[in-house]
Amino acid sequence: MTAQTEDRQAPGGRMGVYVYGILPGDIEIEPGAAGVGDPPGEIRVVRYRDLTAMVSDVDLDHPLGRAEDLFTHEELLDSSAADLPVLPLRFGAVLTSDEAVAEELLGPHYEEFTAALRQLDGQAEYIVKGRYIERAVLGEVLAENPEAARLGDQIRDADPDATRDQRIRLGEIVASAIEGSRQADTRALGDAVSAHVTASVVRPPTHELDAVYAAFLVETGKVEALRQAVEQLSEGWGDRIDLKLVGPLAAYDFVGIGAQTAES
């Protein structure tokens, strides 16, 4: 085990060690890479046998939670995942010292982490997210549902207050129709990419017009085939769904790692 133990003090109080993720033990970090916090700590590594934790110092008197902290956390992990397997920790994982990282996180979970890194070797996560184009999906509902079409005619150019009930009912019909379409389109996405992915996770929608939102674990050699499958699906959906492929990312949806937070 190689771990440095220091009594770190910040001008405002005690320091903690923020842990981003677990990687193979032979990695090196470029000097000067900045981590989370204000001011940000410099990224370094804590090693335990053939495992490495990517860490930086944080001031425990200044709680994390800024948007830029979350962005930094994800950016560091995603940039690492482009080249080697990485097990991401949840945002906000803080331990008391480098020694605690080695002895309380890496050591007790050595076998689990090693096996997980082996499974992720040569793979990364990709996200496919699609959003319905509002005019197109509304047109589908009006064309396929006679009640919706009738309600649409009733509220067109009418006083919003006088047609409140009709608008509420139309909104309910549209929401139900979108949910049905979302399920069907998610199945279509899964069928289109199934031959090119190792595993998949359907994420819950984040917007009422979300059409598909899924994470895929993909081998490096199959990424181009995945891109082509997504492009072909996008062309088939035309101006109905705006589809995007994002990656490579750390395998957030395919591992579950936490760490005890240091007391402030």
What tokens does 124 get?
């990364």
Instruction: Give the residues across from 42 on adjacent strands.
Output: 34
Residues 73 and 177 in one domain: no
Total domain count for the chain?
2
Q: Is 146 found in the same domain as 64?
A: no
Predicted confidence at residue 13, as pLDDT, reads: 58
- Contact at 8 Å (CB) between 48 and 106? yes
Q: Does residue 16 sit in helix, strand or coil?
A: strand
pLDDT tens string 32-73: 788 888 788 899 999 999 999 999 998 888 777 788 888 999
Helix (H) or strand (E) holding 166, with range, is: helix 164-193
Angle, helices 146-155 vs 164-193, to 10°: value is 130
pTM of the prediction? Answer: 0.80
Least trusted range by pLDDT, from 2-16, 17-31, 65-79, 249-263: 2-16
Q: In the chain, pLDDT over 70 holds for what percent of residues?
A: 92
pLDDT digits (tens, 9 = 90+) for 179-217: 988 999 999 999 999 999 999 999 999 998 999 999 999
For 38, 74, 127, 137, 258, the CA distances from 96, given in Å and listed in that order, are 18, 22, 34, 52, 15
Residue 260 lies in a domain: no
Is residue 33 in some structural domain? yes
Domain check: are 18 and 89 in the same one?
Answer: yes
In the DSSP assignment, the letter for residue 118 is H
Residue numbers of the domain that contains 169? 124-251
